[in-house]
Structures are given as structure tokens and as C-alpha cells.
Structure 1
Amino acid sequence: MQVSDKLIRPLTEAKYLNADNVSRYRCIMRIFFEHYEKLKYWLYLEEVYEEMIQDPFFADYRMKQCQQDLMMLTEWKNLNTIQDTKKVASIEEFKNKKYRYQMTEYSVEIERLVIRLENLFIEGASLEPTLLERIRRSVERFPEMGERDKSEVYTWWTDLNNDFVRLNQNYQDYIRDLNSVRAEEMMHTKEFLVFKDRLIEYLRNFIKGLQRNVGVIEENLRLQSEELKKQVFEKVIDYELSIPRMEIEVSKEMIEQKIQGRYQSIYDWFVENEGQENEAVKLFDATNDIIRRITRYAAQLSEKNALGANRKEEYRKVAELFLRCQNVEEAHKMSAMVFGMECPQHLAGELIRETDSMNIGVYEEQPMEITLKPRVRTYREKSRRSAIRESAEQKQETRRKLLEQQKKETEKLRALEVDGKIYFDKLPVLEPRIREILLKWLSDAMESADFSARTDDGRRYILDRSQEGENCVVHCEDGNFTMPKLSIVFQEEV
């Protein structure tokens, strides 16, 4: 933060939002703003007054009050004034000073903020995967911006920043709404079950968008060279400086600091730095946590509603049955039926029915046998004895296949060597198994103090870290990954 006169001075332009006659001031400023949106920048006192009295709320409003309000707004620097001398016909009219009024730049931005706050709960926030796709496409175009015209680079840079700001604000507002007290109370109501599935599907679609795009964006940002970034940022700065501005002095250092800060914000949002989770990972975890909470609340609510509804219907049905009884004897029999058999025992088994006819009784079907086991803790089923199988041939076959696999892997690894060295920046497309072996060799060497180790077949090698500061991309059949530019150097045994 840099303390300046603009930062520490009071904002008198915002006084009209909380003054004594705030209802009149805000309505006047809204009239000016609506005309400003229609490109009508100057208004007369009479025009403002006519629009004010059209609403019944200002039926008692007077021209003198309107003039005083406009003077106060001018004093607070919400309005600029200029004397209108076009229709002056006498010295007396010139002395009366008929003015035209115009909104100041501060007032326009304040009124836009007020309108946005008024529509805050109407517009709402959202989680749109399309923003992630747009950012991914913009980041992928980063290398080609070095050859483009500075106006096109500035448009690309502005679109990227706008998409990033929208993504950041929308996800924060949407997650805040889902974690609010109002959302928590709604999740305990029956109405929540109606749109629960749509909400979960919406969140899952956003998670899919995260998984598809964040990794690509991260890799592209990591691969950007400092020279390319400097070249692109220079074009954006040149275009910014070429824009004519009135009453505003902009320095190159200020613009460069702003651009560097915005790029660093985008970089930190998508790229992990020194083991710290980036904002994309935090958003992924927060969205998953919300899905788990929604599912848990919905299950509890469904279980609670189902249990209460079933028991309520049960009691109503039992009451109807008792009301149909003709005398106490029937009521006693009904009581024995209802309460005496409340928890009947059922025998379950693998019954094979010979027919699906509903007219066949239980006693007409074949009996089913059920083996009962003693209900004691010491009971154990008898174990059947089995002979020891000879598996020497199977072991030999397994050993032979393993040796063949090792031989093939050794041949593939030898094919990667160039004069006794394996350069990771010159590797062809690797199989997953070969990649695992090479990374294991790297891990073994990194754990040693002198960065040397031995392979499984006894070959000694040392890790060449002379170009460790540079990065390279290793291509594999199941994907690519970025790593330092290292090489493995094999040493002949003495």
C-alpha cells in the first residue's frame, strides 16, 4: 500500500447515501444516472423537478426544495454545474444564473455500485465451467501473443482478466451462499428435497470442469518463459500508455506493477507453490464437502419424513380397524392380532418355487430344509482336509515369465541410452512401466549423498544435475509431466 492524497481524503461524494434527506438525494441521483445511461449528460432544474413530482411519493415537493437539493449535491461534488447563456434575453436573466447539471465520474461509479448492491440477491452468483474453459483457451494462446499486434494483445489480456475476476468473485459468492445460515436452515426443510438432485448435479458438473481444465492451465502457466512474459507485458504496457486520459497521470512503473500483480494472482490461483494448496484445489475440496453435506442432510430428512409418514398411516389404519369392531370381544381379538404379532419371526432361505401361481397354498409346495447352527460362541464348523498340491511347474513358469519381462525392460532401457547417458529431455514417448523404473532410479540417486546408485542388474550410475535449473517435458503414453532437466550417467566398473 502506498499512502496518497486520494487514499486519505474523505469521500464527500458518498454523503448523499446517508444524509438527512436521503430519499430526495438518492432519487435525484438516480434520475441523473438513468439519463446518463441514455447519453443525456446535462439536465436543467425544471427537468429534474418534473420527473420528481411524477411519483406520488413527492406530491408535496416544491421547486425551491429541488433547487436546494441540487445545490447541496453540487457542494458534495456529486454534480458539476455550468451556466446556460444560450437563451438569455436580458441582464436580469443573466444575473439569475440558469444552470445545467451533470454527474461527476465518482457519482457515476457510486450509483453503479448502489444498483449492483440492490440487485445482489436477484442476480446471485454461480459456478460456471465455461469460465474455466475460456481461461484455458486464453492461457493456451499466451505463446502466440508474442507475435501479435499490441492492440490485439491488450484485448486478449483484458478478456483473460475479466474472466478470472468473474470466476473468482462468482465462486466465492456461491460458496458463501451455500455455507450461509439461510442455506443451512433450508437444508433442514422438506422443500430442499425437491431440488437437491439438481444442485448436486450442478456442483458435479463444475467439478468435472475443474478436473478437465485446471491441470492444463497449470502446465501452460509453468511452461511460460520469462522472456515471453516480458515481451507480452511490454505490449500491454505500451498500449495502456497510448490511451489518452484526462486529468490522470499514469506512469509505466504503475502499469507494470498492476500487470505483474494480476498475472501473479492468476498464477497462484492455478499453480501449487512450494507444497501450498492453490485456490483451485481449495475450491475442489470445498465443493466436494458441500456435496457430502447436502447428501447427508437429504438422507436424514428423507429418513425422518419417511419414518413419520409411515408410522402416522399405521396408526390411522389401526384406528379404523378398531372402529369397525361390533363389540368388545372383537376388539380384544383385534388387539391380540395387532399387538400380539407386532414382531413376527420370518425364516429366510433359497426357496425354489415350481410354479408362480398365486392360487397355490404354502402347504401345497415342496418343503424347504434349513440347517440350524448352535448359537454358542465356541461353535466352529468342521474344516475339510485337503491334500498339498505340487506347484513346482507353476513356479517355474512364473519365474520364466518374470525373467522374460525383465529382459525386455532391460532392452528398452538400453535403447534409451546415448553414449552411456540417458537424457530426460530427449526421451521418446515412454511406457508407464519404463517411466516408473526411470523415476525409481532418480529417487535412489537423490537419496544418496553423492547422487549415485546402482540399478537392479548392478550397473552403477550418477545423476547429472548441471542443468537442473531448466525444465523439460517428458511424454508418456498416459500423459505428460514437467520435471527438471536431468540426465543419468552410467559408469563403467573398474
Structure 2
Amino acid sequence: MVLRKVKEASYLTAENYFRYRAILRFFYTQHERMREFIFPGEVFLSLKEVEGFSEYTEDQLQLDLNQLVEWGNLSPKQEIGSARTIDEYKKKRFRYQPTPYTIEFERLLMEMENKEESFGGALERTQFERLYRLIQDVEEVVFGQTKKQDEEVNQLWEDVQTYFKQIVQNTSDYIAYINSEAVEERMQTEAFLLYKDQFTKYLREFIRAMQSTSEQIKSVLAELPEGKLYPFFEQVWRHKAQARLEEVDVTNERRPLEEYTGRWQSMQQWFRGTQSYGKSEAEMLLDRTSESIRKITQVVQRMGERHQNFRSRREEYLYLANWFTQLENIEEAHKLFATAFGVEHTRHYYLQNTRSENLYEEEWSHTPQIHITKPGVRQYREKTKSGAVVDQTLKRKAAREEYLKEKANERKAIEQYIVNQSIELEKLEKVEPSVRHIFLSWIGKAMGQKDRTIQTDLGIRVKVLLKDERIILRSYDGDLEMPNVTFKIVEEKGKKGHGA
């Protein structure tokens, strides 16, 4: 990879940027209308209609064009045989064409100018479904079930890239939008109550659709490592090479294939995750969406409590007073007072908001926190000192090892319940809460599969068999009534299932 100074971007920050940008915007507009070579006279007439160019001269335009040529924004082409006057012939009449860098800069600037200041994006369920169908088409081509010409394979690859890019961009922008300050402030207003139901419904429907489709995509991607796609990528490269007039450098033939495999790996990692970083982006997207629903619920609850505080409680207090008068002794009155008003003198404890990313972890499982109380005086100022860039390599390594250890413990806990390649919940006496959560997550993921078969995070394939009757799944933190389920360990290709 060669990194050079991008002099083509100089016109954006130069002293006369207003003139340069107006000139190149005109060239970009004409390029979009499929006019490539423009005469300076056309540029000059266009600029005279722009505010601030009333005193602009043709000599100034020629100097600006020369500067843009020097920066690499324009390519000049001399018109030898079309001079209409002797003066034009002496001046070497030129036409100008914008360079690829210029077109891309202006296209990006136009896109940014048309965007709102806030984040956009959306959680589109249909994009995941379309991407799933396209990846299925890729699978059919790779395994020879469908024969396609190079042009068709290239179009299929472009469609896959387009939908994946839209998914990544739209979802990341939308998550940034719902976590932005503007939305946070809007959630605190009374008007938000009118939209909270449809907003929550929108998020829930997306979660249900994505849980189903993303698991299907993951199962197809698991069968398509990049090594199997080389013939597919070679078809794409052959088609693209036909459009080039110059001779293809043999030493660079592998570069497009490396680029294609890199993009495919990015999609694999987005949906399936990696061993180094644990959860995939798709799983984190579901977590963030669920967190947004919880945040909305908490906001609505707080607003309801605020309304409750302003409401007159006269009738309630009169009812409570009448209740007290009917009691027979002071002991009963003390009990009623404690129930109605709680402990008379309470102590409030400060806790850090987020101590763990595990939603099911209880506060009692954490070690006690140390809270430093700061003096409540205006003159108090904390001492500050210069910070340093801390190497987090060991911390990341420890987090990775902790994650792998946790997964190994989960697998060990699951394996003790496997009998004859299956786990029958009705035969289990009592399970740990963490194991129960794993079972429930398997059931949730399997609901999105037609054959009820999923690839778990523990590296085993499981088929979920639902029965009509219901059972009580007992655990150390409580009992759960649920459908009777049997998990069948499916034998993987080239591997044998795990037994107890």
C-alpha cells in the first residue's frame, strides 16, 4: 500500500477555495450529464451567474484553471483544428476534463451537503432477507448447482456488496441516531409518549426478523469459506478485466482476488464474529436494539412516576388514615406504617451504572465497590496530572482469555447434560441459571430456522424438537414453566457429535 500526499484535495482548503469549488462543481455537474470536455468560455458564462463573481474576469479564470491542472483536478486537451480566430490559435485553445479524484470528491461533497446534520439510517428487515437470497445464489454457483456467465456472476457479486454495505451503513447510522443527544432530549418530552408504541413496535419487529434471517445467513456463510470462492471471484475478475483497454499486469492479477476475499471475510466477521473479539456485529446490533427498547421503557416509566408525583393523593391518604383508625393496637400500626412508608431512616448507596455487559448477572455476584466521597464545597477542585497513553495489550489479552475460559466453562456445563447425543429438559432435575439462559437462546434462534437446526456459539450443531406438553424447568434461582424441548446434537460434516 502506497500512501501519498493527496494534492487533488488542495482546492478545498486553498485561499481562493470559493472560486475553485465553483469551477469544479460546474465540471462535476456537466460530468453527470455525460459531457466530459468543457471549454473555458462555458465555465466563465456559468460563473457569471453565481453570486460573488460579478467582477470575475477571463484572465482570472485561466489562472484558476492552470492551478487546478497543476493540482491534478483537471486534464487539458488542446483543440488544434477548431480555432476560429488568430487570437484563439495563438492562445492554444484548450478543453478541460475533470479527473477521477475530482469527481469522487465532488460526489462525496454533494452527498454530504444533501444530508441532514443528524444521523439517518434505518433498520430495514427486507435488506437482510434480500442479502440472504443473494448469498444462497452465491452458494449455488460455488457448488455447481447453477451455471452462470461471467457477467451474471459479476452482477451477483455487486448486488451482495451493495446490500451488505447498505445494511452496515443504515444500521450503524440508526444506532447512532437513537443514541444521539437530540433523540435523548426528545424522549424527555410529553410528545414522545404519542410515538413510543410505534417506535417500540418498529424495533421489536426488526429484532424478530433479524434473529431469524441472520441465523440463516450465518448457516450459509459457514459453508462458504473464502477458499471455496476463488473460482467465483475469478469469474468476477475476468468480467471486470474485459472493460479495461490497457494490458493487465500479471503481477497484479492476485490483487483483485485479495480484495474480494477481504470483503467476503468482512461479511463473515460481521455476521459470525471472530475468536479474537467474541460477539459478531450482528449480535451486538441486536443487543443495542434491545437496549434501546429498555431505555424507552425506563423513560416512559419515569415520566409516569413524574405524573404520579403531581397528582393529588388526598383520597389515598384519607383511605390510609381510616385504615389506621381501625387497627386494634400500636404494633399493628407500626407494621402498617412500615409497609406504607418503608424504613424511616434510609441510607443511599452509590453504584457504578454498568459493571458488566451480562444482562442476567446479579449485583450480589460482584465484588464490593469502593466509592470516594468528594467534599461538597464550591472551593474543592480535584488534582489533575498529565495522562499517558497506556498499552492495553495485556488487558485485551486477559479479556480474550477470560472470554474463552467462560465459553469453555459453558461447554463443560452443557456437556454434562448430554445423554445419547441429546438433552431432554423433562429429565433434568435442576440446572444452573447460566445453562437455562443458553437453552432459551437456542430455542429463540431455532425458531427462525425451517428445520429448527442451529450452529451454537459452543461449536456444536443442535436440532430443537418441540413437544406439545409443558414442563417445569427447575433452577437454583427459581422455576420456569415452558414447552417440553429436546435438543438433538447433530453430527457435523467431517466431525462426530459430542456425547456424554
Into which bin does the TM-score normalised by the smaller protein fall? 0.5 to 0.7
Cα deviation, 1:110-144, whole Å, max 9, x if unaligned, reads 11111122123278211111111111111222332
Tell me how far apart the structure 1 counterparts of residues 68 and 54 of structure 2 sit (CA, whole Å). Answer: 21
Which of 273, 294, 297 in structure 2 is aligned with 1:295?
A: 297
**2:477 is equivalent to residue 486 of structure 1:** no
**2:186 is equivalent to residue 186 of structure 1:** yes
* Paired position in structure 1 for 2:318: 344
Cα deviation, 1:145-193, whole Å, max 9, x if unaligned, reads 1332222222111111111111112111111222223332332233433
Q: How does 1:360-371 map to 2 (within 5 A)?
A: none
Tell me how far apart the structure 2 counterparts of residues 94 and 488 of structure 1 sit (CA, whole Å). Answer: 86
Shift of 1:346: 6.0
Amino acid at match of 2:288: A
* 8 A contact 2:490–2:497 mirrored in 1: no
Amino acid at match of 2:67: M
Gap runs ≥5 in structure 2? 335-416, 424-458, 467-486
* Paired position in structure 2 for 1:168: 168
What SS is found at the alignment partner of 2:96? strand
TM-score (norm 1): 0.63
**2:104 is equivalent to residue 109 of structure 1:** yes
* Paired position in structure 2 for 1:266: 267
Q: 1:226 to 1:244 in 2, by over 3 A?
A: closer
Cα deviation, 1:35-82, whole Å, max 9, x if unaligned, reads 111111122112111111113332332222222222221221111111
Q: 1:197 to 1:27 in 2, by over 3 A?
A: farther
Amino acid at match of 2:259: K
What SS is found at the alignment partner of 2:420? helix
What SS is found at the alignment partner of 2:52? helix
Q: 1:124 to 1:246 in 2, by over 3 A?
A: farther
* Paired position in structure 1 for 2:205: 205
Amino acid at match of 1:19: A
* Paired position in structure 2 for 1:229: 229
TM-score (norm 2): 0.62
Q: 1:481 to 1:487 in 2, by over 3 A?
A: closer
Q: 1:483 to 1:36 in 2, by over 3 A?
A: same
Shift of 1:294: 2.0
**2:130 is equivalent to residue 137 of structure 1:** no
Q: 1:180 to 1:238 in 2, by over 3 A?
A: same
* Paired position in structure 2 for 1:279: 281
Cα deviation, 1:358-414, whole Å, max 9, x if unaligned, reads xxxxxxxxxxxxx978774799xxxxxxxxxxxxxxxxxxxxxxxxxxxxxxxxxxx
Tell me how far apart the structure 1 counterparts of residues 35 and 490 of structure 2 sit (CA, whole Å). Answer: 57
Q: 1:436 to 1:143 in 2, by over 3 A?
A: same
* 8 A contact 2:226–2:261 mirrored in 1: no
Amino acid at match of 1:142: V
Name whichever of 155-164 and 193-202 sits farther off.
193-202
Which of 83, 89, 92 in structure 2 is aligned with 1:88?
A: 83
Tell me how far apart the structure 1 counterparts of residues 196 and 499 of structure 2 sit (CA, whole Å). Answer: 59
> Which structure has the greater CA radius of gyration?
1
* 8 A contact 1:154–1:236 mirrored in 2: yes
Which of 40, 54, 57 in structure 2 is aligned with 1:59?
A: 54
Tell me how far apart the structure 2 counterparts of residues 116 and 248 of structure 1 sit (CA, whole Å). Answer: 33
* 8 A contact 2:419–2:499 mirrored in 1: no
Tell me how far apart the structure 1 counterparts of residues 156 and 265 of structure 2 sit (CA, whole Å). Answer: 17
Q: 1:198 to 1:480 in 2, by over 3 A?
A: farther
Shift of 1:91: 4.6
* 8 A contact 1:28–1:52 mirrored in 2: yes
Q: CA RMSD in A?
A: 3.8
Q: 1:81 to 1:241 in 2, by over 3 A?
A: closer
What SS is found at the alignment partner of 2:235? helix
Tell me how far apart the structure 1 counterparts of residues 14 and 209 of structure 2 sit (CA, whole Å). Answer: 47
Q: 1:298 to 1:67 in 2, by over 3 A?
A: farther
Tell me how far apart the structure 2 counterparts of residues 261 and 108 of structure 1 sit (CA, whole Å). Answer: 26
* 8 A contact 2:200–2:293 mirrored in 1: yes
Q: 1:115 to 1:249 in 2, by over 3 A?
A: farther
* Higher RCO structure, 1 or 2 (CA under 8 Å, sep 6+): 2
* 8 A contact 1:143–1:228 mirrored in 2: no
* 8 A contact 2:489–2:497 mirrored in 1: no
Tell me how far apart the structure 1 counterparts of residues 164 and 102 of structure 2 sit (CA, whole Å). Answer: 27
Amino acid at match of 1:117: M
Tell me how far apart the structure 1 counterparts of residues 176 and 205 of structure 2 sit (CA, whole Å). Answer: 19
